[in-house]
Amino acid sequence: MKQAEIGIYGLGTMGRALALNIAEHGFVTAVANRETDWIDPFVEGASHLGENLLPCYDLESFVARLARPRTVLFMIPSGAPLEAMLDQVAPLLEPGDLVVDAGNADFNDTVRRAERFEAAGIAYVGLGVSGGARGARHGPSMMFGGTADSWTRLEPILTAIAARYEGDACVAHLGPDGAGHFVKTVHNGIEYADMQMIAELYGLLRDAGGWDAGRIADLFRDWSKGPLASFLIDVSVIALDTKEPDSGQPLIDLIVDTAGQKGTGRWTVIEAQKLGLSASTIEAAVAARSWSADRDLRARAEALLPGANVVAGLPGVQTLEQALLAGRILSHAQGFDLLAAASREYGWSLDLARVAEIWRAGCILRSDLLSGVAEALKTLPDETPLVLAPQMLAVLEQTVPALRQVVGVAVQIGQPLPALAAALTWYDSLRRARGSSNMIQAQRDVFGAHGFERTDLPGRHNGEWG
Ligand code: 6PG
């Protein structure tokens, strides 16, 4: 019986797309799924792949179909469902086998799972896969966390199926166990911030400017040809352009303003806080999704909470464009700072320029900006944050005045721009050699004798407070 080079377990949208991509590149792929009735329609729909796609109807025959040493890739939800599958598959595997989790997982879980499997001689890879279903099908960006040996084994398949940026495959071995999932999590955190900032400008144009969806689509279409060129701007144009077939109304106008989230944005914020950092644009984006969920409260509060009662003209479209570019740079800078801090904390030696490079195609974050970020990171001295890279400073000098103007107008008229405002606040906090936290230290010492350092004397001190 023909043996498979890899097995994909989980035939949801992403698993199906990845299996087709792998099999189409000539790798014999076994496929299985918990709901066995999904398997035949999938394999029958891909009959052109012949024996490159081998259907298996239970876990035992799936594992038995894999050439030794085996490679099993799970593309299923990363919490309890994955945990249960790992428990079931573990006794069927033997030393030398390789397990890949290609879903979005909390990197702490990946580290724990890798320890468990590696204790049994089985390699465990946390693989961040970005690009949604189209990416998985035609070329995702992939962030690999695992041992050097497991990378050597999987590299041919991953390189073959990855997205390409000017010929360069968008996949890299970033570090051990949880490193790939951590980088993917931060990718998603930046994705949350970018989506939120675009949504904020959409809201400003709609609510304060009275623009309809078609007009905003035209503006974003223009932006997609300039420095904001990116997948997320393109996606936003599609979102604004699409009409509801029956009524002809823009579909976006019919969508409830409550954003879903599956957890990666929240994980980014939690990990940043654990490392003593704040990725405040990402925090704002996560918060905005949470606020969006309380629709009833917002409906009640709209009638009760007074607004600004100020009328101010909207900034021009170029100002809005520049403001978004500044926000995008600042949110990427926070994300890369977080990656640098995690790399130091966990001893990963992450190649940040390579991370930016593999995000240039295939993933949700892909944008023209990432090419500039990759170039900047290549020459940036260690420990220097991205925001201080000369290439970024040059653009910020041009664009932050616009961000200031947009946030200023929004504050005056009472239009919320949480992520853009957070980006500006971070920028203004950074460019202040003497901030106001001496007051926090004084307060802590007044009420709790926590002590403080002085600017004029060495050592630790307590005040003799009146
Ligand atoms: C990707 C995406 C993907 C994620 C969506 C939805 O890189 O392909 O990040 O992994 O599923 O972005 O995430 P939320 O449901 O949390 O918005």
Domains of the chain: 6-177 (3.40.50.720), 185-430 (1.10.1040.10), 436-466 (1.20.5.320)
What's the one-letter identity of residue 340?
Answer: A
Report, in this order, helix, strand and coil percent for the chain, each rounded to 5.
60, 10, 30
- Report the atom number in ligand 1 closest to the C-alpha of 141: 7
Token pair of 383 as six digits: 């420990």
- The answer to whether 33 and 23 have CB atoms below 8 angstroms apart is no
Q: Is 264's C-beta closer than 6 angstroms to any atom of ligand 1?
A: yes
Told to judge if 200 belongs to the known catalytic residues of this protein, a careful annotator would answer no
Q: What is the pLDDT of residue 6?
A: 98
Ligand 1: centre distance to CA 129 (Å): 10
- The answer to whether 117 and 147 have CB atoms below 8 angstroms apart is no
- The answer to whether 74 and 98 have CB atoms below 8 angstroms apart is no
- Who's near 247: CB < 8 A, 6+ residues apart? none
- The residue with tokens 């932006």 is 223
Q: Percent of the chain at pLDDT above 70?
A: 100
Q: What residues are paired with 130 via a beta bridge?
A: 141
pLDDT tens-digit series, residues 308-330:
988 889 999 999 999 999 999 99
Tell me how far the alpha carbon of residue 157 is from its chain's centroid. 23
Report the run of H or E that residue 195 belongs to, with start and end: helix 179-203
Instruction: Report which protein residue has its CA nearest ligand 1's atom 11.
Output: 132
Over residues 401-428, the mean pLDDT reads 98
pLDDT tens-digit series, residues 271-287:
999 999 999 999 999 99
Q: What is the pLDDT of residue 110?
A: 98
Q: What is the pLDDT of residue 383?
A: 87
- Who's near 210: CB < 8 A, 6+ residues apart? none
Listed in sequence order, the DSSP H helices in 229-294 are: 231-241, 264-274, 280-293
SS3 65: coil
CB burial string 181-198: b at 16+ within 10 A, e below: bbbbbbbbbbbbbbbbbb
Q: What is the pLDDT of residue 1?
A: 81
Ligand 1 pocket: which of 141, 195, 262 to mutate (most atoms <8 Å of CB)? 262
The reported pTM is 0.97
CB atoms inside a 10 Å sphere around CB 224 = 17
**Is the torsion defined by CA of 106, 111, 115, 117 positive or negative?**
positive
Query: Average model confidence (pLDDT) for the chain?
Result: 97
Told to judge if 184 belongs to the known catalytic residues of this protein, a careful annotator would answer yes
pLDDT tens-digit series, residues 332-364:
999 999 999 999 999 999 999 999 999 999 999
